Amino acid sequence: MDRLFSTLSKHIIEEERKHPSATGEFTNLMTDIAVASKVIAAKVNKAGILNILGVTGKVNIQGEEVKKLDEYANDIFKKVLEIGGYTCILASEEDEEALILKQATGKYAVVFDPLDGSSNIDANVSIGTIFGIYKKSSKEDHCSKEDLLQPAKNMVAAGYIIYGSSTMFVYTTGNGVHGFTLDPEIGEFILSHKDIKIPEKSKIYSINEGNYSTWPEGIKKYINKIKQERTHSLRYIGSLVADFHRNLVYGGVFLYPQTSKNPKGKLRLLYEAGPLSYIVKEAGGKGSNGTTDILDIVPNSIHERVPLFIGSKKDVEEIETILKEG
């Protein structure tokens, strides 16, 4: 019975109480995100029945096929945040341009990938939503892209929802990383993983070995080294949130280096690498582009791509050292 008192809603309110000057707006924003994630989870969990698998026939800014669930998740997130009124500008993986919301009162900028890994939807592989929240930085009353193009270290919160064997909401506001599992019987996210810490050294590496021939030499050297020393197992789902979450819980390092097809890397800085690096730092890990901590990189555009090496700190630092040696 006491588990009912460790809900996400209660946790968010307890976090607010740590900030005496809090107005409750942030709590309401986080609550809105939690509601959006439950709505998306309900659809993801029965996509095959509702005939919302498959594609819409459209292509997004990334040149990727937009799956029906992608579009649905994007619409839900934007609608909930717009109605909530606590945000002034949004950046979504699915939309070419940032969305400046009509009400200028919201003081938060939210970046999100509404449904990452969607190429796996039809195969019932775990997928996820990633979000990051900034306080508006511009001095003007209205919001502008400047409020979005902040380094991830400026975030006030970051999280993801993984739609897998269960639906989990994992987030941090800078006071540890906490995981909540959705109890579908009562429609509440219940605290299941308090203060997650990623093991400093991992035994898992996640990378698409199919790109081996086009990796930078330093990455080939690192992968060959761990394969030679047989210190790691390869686990790669091809769904960032699922790979990241497993590595966060068990320890592991995820690598998406530059390739011939993605010479700047494939993953996006603003709404993928940034929020996940904020989370992993809070859990004792690290996110890097190979030379710089992801948290310190100032985005030049909302869809900017970066090479991403993220997970157990010692593994990421070893990759940085090998890349530095050239």
**Contact by Cβ (8 Å): 224, 232:** no
Residues 6 or more apart whose Cβ sits within 8 Å of residue 217: 326
Binding residues for ligand P6P, total number by CB under 6 A: 9
Q: Which of 28, 56, 208, 214 binds ligand P6P (CB under 6 A)?
A: 208
CB of residue 15 vs ligand P6P: minimum separation in angstroms? 28
- What CA–CA distance (Å, rounded) separates 152 from 139? 19
Among 101, 168, 240, 297, which residue interacts with ligand P6P (rule: CB under 6 A)? 240
Closer Cβ to ligand P6P, 187 or 238, answer by number? 238
- Per the structure block, which two tokens stand in for 137? 């930085």
The answer to the question of residue 315 lying near ligand P6P (CB under 6 A) is no
Q: Which of 15, 32, 94, 116 binds ligand P6P (CB under 6 A)?
A: 116
Structure tokens at 253: 């390092």
> Residue 50 has what DSSP assignment?
T
What is the smallest separation between the CB atom of 158 and ligand P6P, expressed in angstroms? 16
Smaller CB separation from ligand P6P, 230 or 261: 261
Which residue, 144 or 262, has its beta carbon nearer to ligand P6P? Answer: 262
259-298 footprint of ligand P6P as x/- string (CB under 6 A): -------x--------------------------------
How many alpha carbons fall within 13 Å on the CB side of residue 236? 13
Three-class SS string for 226-266?
Answer: HHHHCCCEECCCCCHHHHHHHHHHHCCEEEECCCCCCCCCC
The footprint of ligand P6P (CB under 6 A) covers 116-117, 119, 208, 238-240, 243, 266
